[in-house]
């Protein structure tokens, strides 16, 4: 709940006009709805009394029928304007929230606290944000109009009959209490259980589908089906419980509204018999009691989503906080010196690096020292899983070592401003991330203001010029799903073209030719060498072909780095892959 409040507060701060304006506008149709019923009831009884007292008009009928028309009008158009304004505010807010959540996720990825990064987890975040639209529309607006209008009605009715007003207020308060439980701990735990059951089923079904080959051979197919079935049972049970609770809540509210009518009427009648109330106000009370629960019913319809929203708000808020922390860290770094690269000095140096994935796990890197003189080309080899890629990630500040220091161009990596770091160093690796947009947009991620000519130059250095020229849309060809599919080698080249647009001083290549066949690997390597001429290069590899042109070769094994002499001994060569 605290997270929800916090996010509501943010909304209020970002869009104060729409927030308060929407709230106030929401009161108008709600009040008009109650007033319409109340005046109608009052009008009928007043006219009946007038009719009884034989023509003596005690009540201005035209005034009453005018106010009936006015309230009907307010009801109709107030509702329209209110909905337009509150929805607009919500969408404005969600757009901001989405980018804040994005910042938070990136920040978490950066400081290594992201525990899971599967597509499931990411799409969960996306749907979390979408769920929060209800926070304003289905929680703040109906709840505040319900409480404020109930209060207002009681104040007005108090003059006519305090006793009946108290009865009215008590039943309405009881209804609110029932609904408040929907946002309570039990419901929240239930929502969590639902999420867990969902995730379990998702994982089991995808295991079943992806692994059906291995499962049919190793005989786990039936077992897997049963375990998925168990998840189904659990999910259905929780879901059924949820739906039953929601249905019962709505039933309780509807019953309470009938109780409210009956009890209010009884007290009004009693007040009249005691001589404390005028006759024509009895119907007024009955009809207010008839209209007032409408507020509760609209709350009851949305109450089912509160516990879901509350869980989503918790997660979103913690991401927003991460985003703010990283913003603070970045602004603290922003004043750092720029790295300087001079011949004869080290462009990159690592001292006494220690790294482990979790505090408890064994260290992957222990006391690693490394210095790269400006303009040198260094290759690190080692068995798979030795920590070569981790080392590359540490240099690029994608991972943070537990101990030790990294300097880039004489500046401590910890203090280096993000933009200066990214201008000085780039990683090209085995994983190429291609975005669902055009080739030009994919390249301009590296340099926003690059001209078309720059893009073509980069593509030609990467050996992709012919391919792109052969497409009808040229640079505007779409990549990814439904667009041009790039092969492994082409993807690698696109990443190289991107990096070339940056033109950094230090190039880190993490298993650049991994997974490519021999011929393709050679051409990718040739492009890489051409692009990085005269730059400082650190390559991480286990392929013999990548070692050509290296000034220095180091072996990473058991967490330590050791330099080997060139030319390579047969023993070392044997450890490499030679295809």
Partner 1 sequence: MTENLADITELSDEDVAQASAHAKKRGRKKSAGQIWLQDAVRPEMKLVKRGAMLQGISELLWIPQAALLALAIAGLIDPKGPGLDPFYATASILLLAVIRHFLRVKGGGIAVRAASKARHRLETSLLSNLTNLSPATELPASGKIASIAVDHIQAIGPYLGRFLPIQSRLSLVPLVLLASVAYVSWFAALCLLVFGPLVPVFMAIVGIRAKKASDQQLGVLADMGGLLLDRLRGMETLRLFGAVKRSEDDIRKLGGEFRMSTMRVLRIAFLSSTALELFSAAAIALTAIYVGFSLLGDWSFGTYGSPLTLAGGLFVLMIVPEYFAPLRAYAAAYHDRAAGLAAADHIVELQKQLENDEQKASVAEGMHIVPLPATGALTIRNLSVSRGQRSILTDVNLALGEPELVVVKGPSGTGKSTLMDCILGFLPADQGQIAYGGLPISSYGLTNWQQSISVLSQNPELFHGTLRANLRRAGESADDATLTEALKLAAVDELLAKIPGGLSGQIGEDGKGLSLGERRRFALARAALRKDARLIIADEPTADLDGTTAQKVVTALKTLARNKPVLVATHDPRVVGSADRVLTLKEGVLVEVSEREGEQQ
Residue 556 CA: distances (Å) to CA of 342, 352, 386: 27, 14, 7
**What is the number of helices (H) and of strands (E) in the chain?**
21, 10
Considering the complex, what minimum distance in angstroms separates the CB of residue 1 from partner 1?
20
List the one residue out of 368, 363, 330, 365 whose CA is nearest residue 348: 368
368 near partner 1, judged by CB under 8 A: no
CA 210 – CA 118 distance, rounded (Å): 15
Binding pattern to partner 1, positions 484-503, x when CB under 8 A? -----------x--x---x-
- Listed residue (561, 425, 436) closest to 499, CA to CA: 425
Nearest approach in angstroms of CB 333 to partner 1 is: 13
Q: How far is the CB of 73 from partner 1 (least distance, A)?
A: 8
Instruction: Give the per-residue contact string, 158-197, with partner 1 (x = CB under 8 A; - = no).
Output: ----------------------------------------
Q: Is 27 in the site for partner 1 (CB under 8 A)?
A: no
The reply to whether 17 sits near partner 1 by the rule CB under 8 A is no
Q: Under the criterion CB under 8 A, does residue 217 sit at the interface with partner 1?
A: yes
Instruction: Measure the CA–CA gap between 20 and 22, rounded to whole angstroms.
Output: 5
**Alpha-helix runs per DSSP H in 132-184:** 133-134, 141-158, 162-180
Stretch of 257-265, 372-380, 459-467, 545-553 contacting partner 1, by CB under 8 A: 257-265
Number of residues interacting with partner 1: please give it, by CB under 8 A.
158
- Using CB under 8 A as the binding rule, whether residue 9 contacts partner 1 is answered as no
Which residues in 62-91 contact partner 1 (CB under 8 A)?
64-65, 68-69, 71-72, 75-77, 79-80, 83-84, 87-88, 90-91
Backbone angles phi, psi at 407, to 5 degrees: -120, 135
Q: Which of residues 100-139 bind partner 1 (CB under 8 A)?
A: 102-103, 105-106, 109-110, 118-120, 122-123, 125-127, 129-131, 133-134, 137
For position 279 contacting partner 1 by CB under 8 A, the verdict is yes
Q: Which of 185, 321 has the CB closer to partner 1? A: 321
Residue closer to partner 1, measured from CB, 71 or 341: 71
Least Å from the CB of residue 543 to partner 1: 8
Question: Restricting to residues 422-441, which ones interact with partner 1 according to CB under 8 A?
Answer: 422-423, 426-427, 431, 433-436
Q: How far are the Cα atoms of 18, 82, 133, 263 from residue 29, in angstroms, in the given order?
A: 17, 8, 21, 26
Of 281-340, binders to partner 1 (CB under 8 A) are 282-283, 286-287, 290-291, 301, 305
CB nearer to partner 1: give 75 or 377.
Answer: 75
For 111, residues 6+ apart whose C-beta sits below 8 A from its C-beta are 326, 400
210 is a site residue for partner 1 (CB under 8 A): yes
Question: What gap in Å lies between CA 205 and CA 264, rounded to an integer?
Answer: 55
Site for partner 1 in 503-532 (CB under 8 A): 514-515
Cα–Cα distance between 345 and 366 in angstroms, integer?
A: 25
Find the binder of partner 1 among 9, 159, 236, 563 (CB under 8 A): 236
3-state helix, strand, coil split of the chain in percent (to 5) is 65, 10, 25
Q: What is the DSSP letter of 158?
A: H
301 and 180 Cβ atoms separated by less than 8 Å: no
């Amino acid at each position: 709940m605290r997270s929800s409040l916090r996010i509501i507060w943010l909304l209020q701060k970002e869009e104060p006009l729409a927030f308060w304006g929407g709230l106030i506008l929401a009161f108008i149709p709600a009040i008009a709805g109650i007033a319409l019923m109340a005046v109608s009831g009052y009008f009928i009884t007043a006219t009946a009394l007038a009719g009884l007292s034989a023509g003596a008009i005690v009540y201005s009928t035209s005034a009453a029928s005018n106010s009936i028309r006015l309230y009907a009008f307010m009801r109709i158009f107030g509702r329209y304007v209110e909905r337009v304004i509150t929805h607009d505010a919500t969408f404005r807010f969600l757009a901001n929230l989405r980018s804040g959540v994005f910042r938070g996720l990136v920040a978490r990825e950066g400081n290594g606290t992201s525990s899971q990064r599967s597509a499931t987890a990411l799409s969960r975040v996306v749907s979390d944000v979408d769920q929060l639209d209800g926070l304003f529309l289905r929680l703040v607006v109906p709840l505040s109009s319900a409480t404020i209008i109930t209060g207002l009605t009681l104040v007005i009715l108090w003059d006519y009959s305090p006793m009946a007003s108290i009865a009215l207020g008590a039943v309405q308060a009881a209804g609110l209490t029932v609904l408040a439980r929907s946002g309570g701990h039990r419901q929240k735990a239930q929502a969590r259980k639902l999420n867990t059951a969902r995730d379990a089923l998702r994982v089991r079904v995808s295991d079943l589908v992806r692994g059906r080959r291995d499962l049919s051979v190793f005989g786990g197919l039936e077992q897997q089906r049963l375990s998925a079935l168990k998840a189904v049972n659990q999910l259905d049970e929780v879901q059924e419980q949820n739906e039953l609770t929601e249905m019962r809540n709505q039933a309780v509210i509807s019953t309470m509204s009938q109780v409210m009518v009956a009890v209010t009427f009884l007290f009004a009648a009693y007040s009249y018999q005691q001589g404390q109330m005028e006759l024509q106000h009895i119907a007024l009370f009955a009809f207010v009691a008839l209209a007032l629960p409408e507020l509760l019913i609209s709350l009851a319809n949305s109450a089912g989503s509160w516990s879901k929203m509350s869980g989503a708000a918790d997660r979103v808020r913690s991401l927003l906080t991460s985003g703010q922390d990283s913003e603070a860290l970045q602004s603290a770094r922003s004043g750092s010196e720029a790295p300087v690269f001079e011949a004869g000095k080290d462009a990159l140096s690592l001292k006494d690096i220690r790294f482990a994935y979790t505090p408890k796990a064994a260290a992957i890197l222990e006391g690693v020292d490394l210095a790269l003189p400006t303009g040198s080309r260094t290759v690190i080899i080692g068995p798979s899983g030795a920590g070569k890629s981790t080392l590359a990630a540490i240099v690029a500040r994608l991972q943070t070592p537990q101990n030790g220091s990294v300097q880039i161009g004489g500046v401590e990596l910890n203090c280096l401003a993000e933009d200066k770091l990214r201008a000085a160093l780039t990683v090209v690796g085995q994983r190429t991330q291609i975005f669902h947009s055009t080739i030009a947009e994919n390249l301009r991620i590296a340099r926003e203001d690059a001209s078309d000519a720059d893009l073509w130059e980069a593509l030609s250095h990467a050996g992709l010029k012919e391919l792109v020229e052969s497409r009808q849309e040229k640079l505007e060809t779409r990549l990814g799903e439904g667009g041009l599919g790039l092969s492994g080698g082409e993807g690698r080249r696109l990443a190289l073209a991107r990096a070339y647009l940056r033109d950094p001083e230090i190039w880190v290549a993490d298993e650049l030719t991994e997974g490519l066949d021999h011929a393709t690997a050679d051409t990718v390597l040739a492009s890489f060498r051409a692009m990085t001429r005269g730059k400082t290069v650190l390559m991480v590899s286990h392929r013999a072909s990548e070692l050509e042109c290296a000034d220095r070769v180091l072996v990473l094994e058991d967490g330590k780095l050791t330099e080997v002499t060139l030319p390579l001994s047969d023993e070392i060569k044997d450890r490499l892959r030679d295809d």
